[in-house]
A and B are shown apart, each in its own frame.
Chain A
Amino acid sequence: MSIELSEEIYLKHDEGTDCYYLFCISNGKHFSLNKTSYDILMFLKMGKDKQEIAEFISNHYNITLELCKKDIDALIDVLKENNLLTTKEI
């Protein structure tokens, strides 16, 4: 299964406040993120798959792959609930 962020999603790191945001430019919703969720979403935007993202996060933060995958799934669920991504069966 591949996961694609909607093209209407705009991710922003505001360096002035060091805040991370997700904006949906079609319906105006916006979300605050933390660094981890921002990084995951940036990877999704770049077309990385869940396994690649989990491996990067796991190495970067020195935590288990299982924990990373669990967190990514939780994040994906929130995005799905808000119609912010699409999934495709391959």
Chain B
Amino acid sequence: MLSKYKFAEVSLMLDNHELDHQNEFYFQWHITDRCNLRCKHCYHDNYQQMGLNISQLLKIGEHLCDAIKNWGKIGSFSITGGEPFIRKDDVMQLLDYFDNREEIGHVDILTNGTLIDQQIINDLKRYKKIRRIQFSLEGLEETNDKIRGNGSFDVITSKIKQLTIMGFKTSVMMTIAKYNKDEVIPLAEKLAEIGVEYFILDRFIPEGQSADMKKSVLDSIEIKEIYQKCYSYFKNTLKPRMLLYRTLFCLLNPEDKHIGAICSVGNNALTIMPNGDVFPCRRLPIKLGNILKNSVYEIWYTHPLLWEFRDPNNLKGKCKHCEYIPVCRGCRAFAYAITGDYLEADPQCWKDNN
């Protein structure tokens, strides 16, 4: 039977809404691999690259901002490393540039905190687009220092206090694994004491220098227990506020529209590495191109891997027919690290477990 003929339509799409589900586009930008810490669970495996020079960074920044503008979106950046303040002058130049781009909504800085001094704090005060300074802690002092190095807990918490006094909003990310799973709520209580505004929980993914730490990965039952505790604790806690928009959280209460989030891979985010390589997500280390050679449009529109992610029919295992596909899809990076297949079911999902 012949298909019905339709006039050859073509219409300009002024924004990216048909490809993306949100009005924000996020770039996580690792400007250097160099770091003064060697955290045991780190996803880096190379700490040598200083990264591109500042004129290259500014050129990339301009290109990414132009893309966000063309797409009619609001842009957000996280500037990170390595440790970004190893290149503190370059961080300030980037912040200066973003401050003058109206399509940029906010910029976060993800830092280990150890290099922040009063001069850096004074400099940061100049930039109106800074939303938060994000630190990482892995539990209370003893546990944290085993992972991040002796004395790091004291240094980081003192920097948080210093920034809080100066009027900055701060957040703390905790990467949960077997070794710190019982310290989520105790750490949150400590963070409340020192004025941290936001608390972010991420799942440990064994890759980079932590690739041989697979035994530290939590199983689905443990993840469920931690998420349940967090949901109960944080739904009535204003400070720190836990950012519950993460995959799997929606399973706890599908009626609660404030929890859970679709994986951003192929959806509304990209990661730029110190040499310009582009990854779908920092935790999913598959090179999509290099921003010095390939435009962000070329990568975003043409890379087959991103198209694979966009079509939920490609998901495998229990993710494939899950009713929560519109609000979850699991963590593709975690699936990749554990199974070698980024489309496999999220191994930490507890739904339909016997």
Contact = CB atoms under 8 A, between A and B. Distances in A.
B313 A36 contact: no
Interface of A is mostly: mixed
B305 to A, nearest CB: 14
Interface string A1-41: 00000000010101111010111111111111111110010
Interface string A35-50: 1110010000000000
Contacts of A26: 295, 297
B307 interface: yes
B119 interface: no
B9 A37 contact: yes
Q: Top 10 nearest A-B pairs by Cβ distance?
A: A16-B311, A61-B5, A23-B301, A37-B8, A25-B298, A28-B70, A36-B8, A28-B297, A34-B9, A75-B8
Interface of B: 2-13, 16, 18-19, 66-67, 70-71, 295-298, 301-302, 307, 310-314
Interface of B is mostly: mixed
A16 B310 contact: yes
A25 B232 CA distance: 46
A31 B70 contact: no
16 contacts: A10-B298, A12-B301, A23-B302, A28-B71, A29-B70, A30-B16, A32-B18, A33-B10, A34-B8, A36-B7, A37-B10, A40-B8, A61-B5, A72-B8, A75-B8, A82-B12
Contacts of B307: 12, 14
Contacts of A32: 9-11, 13, 18
Contacts, number: 95
Interface residues of A, number: 37
Interface of A: 10, 12, 14-17, 19, 21-37, 40, 57, 60-63, 71-72, 74-75, 78-79, 82
A42 B327 CA distance: 34
Contacts of B295: 25-26, 28
Contacts of B6: 34-36
Contacts of A27: 70, 297
A25 B297 contact: yes
A47 B310 CA distance: 30
Nearest to B310: A16
Contacts of B5: 36, 57, 61-63
Contacts of A33: 9-10
B10 A16 contact: no
A71 B6 CA distance: 10
Contacts of B301: 10, 12, 21, 23, 25, 30
Nearest to B11: A32
Contact of A24 (B66, B296, B297): B297
B8 A74 contact: yes
A19 B12 contact: no
Contacts of B9: 32-34, 36-37
A42 B184 CA distance: 55
Nearest to B16: A30
